[in-house]
Structure 1
Amino acid sequence: QIVHKSNDRLDHDVEACVKFKVPLVITSLGARVEVNEAIHSYGGVVMHDVIDTWFARKALEKGADGLIAVCAGAGGHAGRLSPFALIQEIREFFDGPLALSGSIANGGAIAAALAMGADLAYMGSAFIACDEANAVEGYKDAIVQYGAEDIVYSNLFTGVHGNYLKPSIVAAGLDADNLPESDPSKMNFGSGGNTKSKAWKDIWGCGQGIGAIKRRGPVADYVDQLEREYEAAIAKLNQPRVWGKVKVSG
């Protein structure tokens, strides 16, 4: 739920959350006390997207129950910080629910997120290629076809920096390698920013982790794959590593 003042659907959406008692609400782009209080009124939980510790502290001050560290490489709106840096700094002052977002697309990355101090791994781009996603076919195919080098970080489309698939930018008639900077004070979500092409309809948000997605298929198959990869990663960490004649215990 984008809670920025430019979102003219905010009041309606929050009312719907309260009416149907949505148990978990994710907010971003502006911590709002009144939104948090509305969700808390029926026992709901609020997790808030943050890109640095300043925003993390502000979200907690405004009443968020947990945080989502949106780090470098995350799809859509994203920060610039390494997950190693941001997770460790948040954990210095917050021991509550913490999710990590940014290039997580396989089970090994999930294991790494938990190992560095997150409680949850937060994934999005990889699921766009699943059969159940309501994305257009070209978007799904692009998730499978492209990789990290095909992701562009720009604030042109909404006023806030985010990661997008380069081919979708080119298809919109723009020079993806020379995008102008947008004025953050004029951010307008869903309007397409300063272009006629709209994020997220025409300009496809996407994270850098999509190189791990090799095929399309149902969500169940992908989740099973994530479980196998996660278990394999944990097992590997518990095995001794040997480099030449040097043995290092797990």
Structure 2
Amino acid sequence: MPIPASLNKNLRLPVICAPMFIVSNPDLVIAQCKSGVIGSFPALNARPKDLLDDWLIRIKAELAADPNAAPFAVNQIIHPSNERLEHDMALCVKHEVPLIITSLSAPTAIVPHVHRYGGKVFHDVISVRHAEKALEAGVDGLILVCAGAGGHAGTLSPFALVGEIRKFYDGPIALSGAITNGCAILSAQALGADFAYIGTRFIATREANAVEAYKQAIVDSAAKDVVYTPYFTGVHGNYLSKSILAAGLDPANLPVKDKTAMSFGSAGDAKAWKDIWGAGQGVGTIGEVMPTAELVARLHEEYRAAREQLLVAGY
């Protein structure tokens, strides 16, 4: 399905940059959008909560001053642990954020407010059942968080999940899961997705709000170094084993937590996302830390080359 016109403005690549807890900040979002991809950040990254208004004012102003900038998005976590949801959504409505990305529970109460000003809502899903619930809530697009994605990822292969959802849904789909280069972006489209949803690759950028050790760990790691566990937040996610070891824990012997215990705080003395670093299985293809603009330019060249190579091969 064609990308909605409101989100297709100035897109250099069919990419939505995933909102990453702590890592995604205004500097990164602005650099992403000015490079021609949709930048995003979790509303919870603006702390204290009143800072969110300042962030939205700054992002909107800097993007408005650049006629070639792509749209931006804000992620909202719909969970009882997020006591800021009503406050943060009110600000997003006030500033008419073009795209709201919702996670966990279906955004039934959010969709009408966003649609009222002409915005779009995309929802994270890891299964067909979650997709059906999101569509019942009236979302405008689905984000398929498949095996290998960083952070709170699912376990299904993109070949399976995209195919099953396309049997009953022809709207916009963003696909997530170890997408780190232009070839993978093209592959996402070939599978039937409209966007590639990229997170981990942008941790290793100059603008990302991550300590240098985290960025270097992304560069130094491989897929075998990624651990899938619910221990740190109560919901299954992918994390770098090096950060788990540094916290004095054994990646191979972590207790199990029920998702009702979900927390954006800590597990013992080690805080999820701050000390325990999220990452997807694509880390083994990331070779350096670089400015966001250079990264997007490289992704574009890789994407173009991959497409031309297929055409030359006659496929």
Q: TM-score, normalised by structure 1?
A: 0.93
AA aligned to 1:229 is E
Is 1:54–2:129 an aligned residue pair? yes
1:104 maps to which residue?
Answer: 179
**In structure 1, C-alpha distance between the alignment counterparts of 2:77 and 2:220, rounded to whole Å:** 29
**Is it true that 1:223 corresponds to 2:300 in the alignment?**
no
Q: Could you say which residue in structure 2 is the equivalent of 1:167?
A: 242
Structure 1 residues 227-238: aligned runs within 5 Å:
227-238=300-311
Deviation, 1:234, is: 1.1
- Counterpart Cα distance in 2 of 1:196 and 1:11: 30
Matched, 1:28 2:103: yes
Give the 3-state SS of the residue equivalent to 2:110 in structure 1.
Answer: helix
- Once the 2 structures are TM-superposed, how far is the Cα of residue 231 of structure 1 from its aligned partner? 1.2
Q: Deviations over 1:28-85 (max 9, x none)?
A: 0111311122222211100000001000000010121100000000000000000000
Is residue 12 from structure 1 mapped to residue 105 from structure 2 by the alignment? no
What is the one-letter code of the residue matched to 1:174? L
In 2, the alpha carbon distance for the partners of 1:201 and 1:38 equals 32
Alignment partner, residue 277 of structure 2: 204
Deviation larger for 195-204 or 132-141: 195-204
1:239 CA drift (Å): 2.9
Structure 1 distance, partners of 2:250, 2:145, is 26
2:203 corresponds, among 120, 128, 135, to 128
Deviation at 1:175, TM superposition (A): 0.5
CA contact (8 A) 1:169 1:176 kept: yes
Q: Structure 2 counterpart of 1:239, which letter? A: V
Indicate if the aligned counterparts of 1:157 and 1:195 stay in contact, CA closer than 8 A: no
C-alpha distance in 2 between matches for 1:74 and 1:198: 20
| 1:195 shift after superposition | 3.1
Instruction: Label 1:167 to 1:61 Cα distance change in 2 as closer, same or farther (>3 A).
Output: same
**Which whole-Å CA distance do the structure 2 matches of 1:212 and 1:149 have between them?**
12
1:65 maps to a residue whose letter is: D
Distance in 2 separating the partners of 1:195 and 1:71: 28
Secondary structure at 1:185's aligned position in 2? Answer: helix
- 1:204 alignment partner AA: W
The answer for the alignment partner of 1:183 in structure 2 is 258
Q: In the alignment, which residue of structure 2 is the partner of 1:246?
A: none
Which residue identity does 2:106 align to in structure 1? Answer: A
Residues 94-143 of structure 1: CA distance to partner in whole angstroms, max 9, x if unpaired? 11110000000000000100001000000011101100111111111111
AA in 2 matched with 1:80: T
Alignment-mate amino acid for residue 142 of structure 1: A
For 1:185 and 1:214, how far apart are their aligned partners in 2?
Answer: 37
**Amino acid of the structure 2 residue aligned with 1:110:** I
- Number of paired residues? 240
101-110 vs 39-48, which moves further: 39-48
Q: Which residue of 217, 223, 241 corresponds with 1:148?
A: 223
TM-score, scaled to structure 2:
0.74
- Unaligned runs of 5+ residues in structure 1 are 241-248
- Partner-residue secondary structure (3-state), 1:238: helix
Q: Which amino acid aligns with 2:146?
A: C
Separation of aligned partners in 2, 1:58 and 1:195: 34
Aligned residue for 1:76, secondary structure, equals coil
SS in 2 for 1:32: coil
Larger radius of gyration: 1
Amino acid at match of 1:136: V
CA-atom RMSD, angstroms? 1.1
